[in-house]
Amino acid sequence: MARTRFVRKPIPVKRVVLFVNSEEAWFWFVRAQRARHDGAVMLEAATEDTRPCDPDDIYRMVMELHRKRVLHAHHLKTLARYGWRQCPPDRRVRGEHRDLVLWDEALDRLTTVMNAKGLIYREEDHAEAC
């Protein structure tokens, strides 16, 4: 009886593009979620570059921070509201001052995790490599 062999699909080598900051990562995550919600299928093969993680990884990081009570419900609501709008709170708008504080706190805490995982571009890391 013939055995079927599993042969891995070749994966092309791509350039990994790190995020500039956690804000860029968050907006990228929300765009991916919107596309999924609209029925898009994520095809990474369609681009020459790739990101250092999946959108689900960003979600897991945020939820882990929430479980550890580092991010609270008001942080999540602010991230969701401005992520959906694809722009951060505007410091010139009087009604968005509280949201700006929450936005900055949430992204600062997310930045700590993303830096530890090597997802954000840092000048000092790349200066040492040269």
Segment 10-23 shows an average pLDDT of 83
User: Residue 59: inside a domain, yes or no?
Assistant: yes
Please say whether the beta carbons of 26 and 78 come within 8 A.
Answer: no
User: Residue 60: inside a domain, yes or no?
Assistant: yes
pLDDT digits (tens, 9 = 90+) for 44-58: 555 667 888 999 999
Segment 68-89 shows an average pLDDT of 97
Segment 38-44 shows an average pLDDT of 70
* 3-state secondary structure (DSSP) of residue 103: helix
Domain enclosing residue 91, as ranges? 27-38+52-129
Q: How many CB atoms lie within 10 A of CB 110?
A: 25
Domain count, the chain: 1
pLDDT digits (tens, 9 = 90+) for 91-106: 999 999 999 999 999 9
User: Residue 21: inside a domain, yes or no?
Assistant: no
